[in-house]
Amino acid sequence: MSSPQLYMVCGKIAAGKSTLTRQLAGKPQAVVLSEDTLLSQLYPGDIRSIPDYVRCAGRLRTALAPHIESLLRAGMVVVLDFPANTPDSRRWMKQLIDETGVAHELHFLDVPDEICKARLRQRNASGEHAFAPTDAEFDEITRHFVAPTEAEGFHVVRHSVAEPALG
């Protein structure tokens, strides 16, 4: 049996958070919870703005916290495909850790905006994702992004992607 652990991800839109969470889900007794999937199923068509997202995501987190804590206490590995992109979102995650005392990793995908936007355009063109933000929406949402700091008390695993060569 594996030890309980909480994996979290931080990164801008299209940085690769969901791809990484799928890799982390390969661990024994791991369960993935995807914010995008849950929000798109619980609130279809209701999320049209940042305030809509904040309201719906807050409700989802409040509802899921006891369930996540019970999974961790039962010895599961929980992979949160929720963006840990602001101090407020990370405080919620830190409460889960503090309540359960489990080990954790916060994976920070440090990817430049232009790479994220290129990936976003490709993802949007595929039509496979529940949400398809524009470049302007990417910029608006990215204004709220705050990288994790040591003072927040997380074990951060940093993943960096270099700028593409110009040519």
Burial class (CB in 10 A: 0-12, 13-18, 19+), 51: exposed
The region of weakest confidence among 28-42, 61-75, 78-92, 122-136 is 122-136
80 falls in which pLDDT band (50, 70, 90)? very high
User: How high is the mean pLDDT of the chain?
Assistant: 89
pLDDT mean over 54-71: 96
Which string of DSSP letters, residue by residue, matches 100-167? H--EEEEEEEE--HHHHHHHHHHHHHHT-SS----HHHHHHHHTT-----GGG---EEEEE-PPPPP-
pTM, two decimals, is 0.87
2 falls in which pLDDT band (50, 70, 90)? low
In the predicted model, is pLDDT for residue 5 greater than 70? yes
162 falls in which pLDDT band (50, 70, 90)? low
Residue 72's contacts (CB-CB under 8 Å, 6 or more residues apart) are 4, 6, 78, 96, 100, 102
In the predicted model, is pLDDT for residue 20 greater than 60? yes
- Top pLDDT among 51 and 64 is at 64
In the predicted model, is pLDDT for residue 107 greater than 60? yes
Domains of the chain (ranges plus CATH)? Answer: 5-160 (3.40.50.300)
Cα(116)–Cα(17) distance, rounded to whole angstroms?
A: 11
The region of weakest confidence among 22-26, 93-97, 119-123 is 119-123
Residue 112's contacts (CB-CB under 8 Å, 6 or more residues apart) are 161, 163
**Is the backbone of residue 14 left (phi > 0), alpha (psi -120 to 50) or beta?**
left
- Which has the closest alpha carbon to 14: 93, 166, 125? 125
In the predicted model, is pLDDT for residue 50 greater than 50? yes
pLDDT mean over 130-143: 80
